[in-house]
């Protein structure tokens, strides 16, 4: 399959995850709260494993044993840190934190920038090989599901109707397709291999700064230990999932 088709198909499918908010039309909030923790844990584990066991080693293979690789990892980490500092936004925050409508627009802008960078990263992986691209896509997709749940909830709590929230959330998600196309058409003039360690830095930041801290938020002291263990197991499951996929692809 042509690389351009891989990039368009993968980024378009990723953008469609924004419609996961439709589920909230049919399930109760208490059930969502029960499954959101394990979903976040699963995505955190998959992001860590994708970065450490897949993307960084492949970057060293493609770029050589050089200090350039960790520099790009740090660049990917710090750019996402700056994005959140200046736009005051987090990927998986509690829905009650959005008290003003203005916050919802910041979320959409930040989500659009984040997805554009994600499109660059995914396309950069597919430009190296379809196998690397697929593993990168799977790790990123695991993170998108709880993120989109959270973003949709914040938009609704900010005063948006569910239909409007779904539509605009998808518009911000579609920038991932634009990012993928930009990376593809720039690949003929510049070396896009740096996008692999850059995306690894993105993944590490999202997992460490956004997802894992979210798992520590609980107001039920009686059940906090059991919830923590379930979330920890979900993190391990995410790690083992990516490692397993990596081994299958290499074989």
Burial class of residue 79, CB neighbours in 10 A (0-12, 13-18, 19+): middle
* Number of other CB atoms surrounding residue 222 within 10 Å: 6
Over residues 12-71, the pLDDT tens digits come to 999 998 888 787 777 776 776 777 788 778 878 888 888 898 889 888 988 888 889 999
What is the distance between the terminal CA atoms of the chain, rounded to a whole angstrom?
20
pTM: 0.69
Orientation angle between helical segments 195-205 and 56-63, nearest 10 degrees: 160
Over residues 73-88, the pLDDT tens digits come to 999 899 888 877 776 5
Cβ proximity of 243 and 53 under 8 Å? yes
Over residues 156-215, the pLDDT tens digits come to 766 788 888 889 989 989 999 999 999 999 888 888 788 888 888 888 887 888 778 877
What pLDDT score does 98 carry? 39
Record the tokens describing residue 25, joined without a space.
């039309």
The rounded distance, in Å, linking the Cα atoms of 78 and 130 is 28
What pLDDT score does 222 carry? 56
Record the tokens describing residue 209, joined without a space.
């700064």
The rounded distance, in Å, linking the Cα atoms of 199 and 208 is 14
b vs e for 23-32, b when ≥16 Cβ sit within 10 Å of the residue's Cβ?
ebeeeeeeee
Over residues 104-156, the pLDDT tens digits come to 776 677 678 778 888 988 998 899 888 888 888 888 887 777 677 767 766 77
Residue 243 has pLDDT above 50, yes or no: yes
């Amino acid at each position: 399959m042509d690389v351009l088709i891989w990039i368009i198909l993968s980024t378009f499918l990723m953008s469609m995850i924004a419609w996961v908010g439709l589920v909230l039309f049919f399930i109760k909030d208490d059930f969502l709260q029960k499954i959101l923790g394990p979903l976040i844990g699963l995505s955190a584990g998959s992001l860590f494993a994708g970065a450490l066991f897949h993307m960084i080693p492949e970057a060293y293979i493609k770029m050589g044993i050089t200090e350039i690789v960790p520099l790009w990892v740090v660049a990917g980490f710090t750019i996402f840190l700056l994005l959140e500092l200046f736009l005051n936004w987090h990927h998986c925050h509690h829905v009650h934190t959005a008290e003003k409508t203005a916050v919802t627009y910041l979320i959409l802008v930040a989500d659009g920038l984040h997805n554009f960078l994600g499109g660059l990263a995914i396309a950069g992986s597919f430009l190296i090989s379809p196998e690397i691209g697929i593993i990168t896509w799977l790790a990123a997709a695991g993170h998108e599901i709880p993120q989109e749940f959270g973003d949709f909830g914040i938009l609704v709590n900010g005063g948006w109707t569910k239909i409007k929230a779904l539509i605009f959330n998808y518009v911000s998600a579609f920038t991932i397709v634009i990012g993928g196309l930009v990376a593809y058409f720039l690949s003929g003039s510049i070396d896009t291999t740096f996008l692999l360690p850059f995306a690894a830095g993105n993944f590490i930041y999202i997992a460490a700064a956004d997802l894992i801290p979210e798992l520590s938020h609980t107001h039920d002291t009686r059940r906090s230990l059991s919830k923590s263990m379930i979330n920890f197991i979900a993190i391990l499951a995410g790690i083992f999932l990516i490692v397993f996929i990596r081994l299958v692809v290499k074989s």
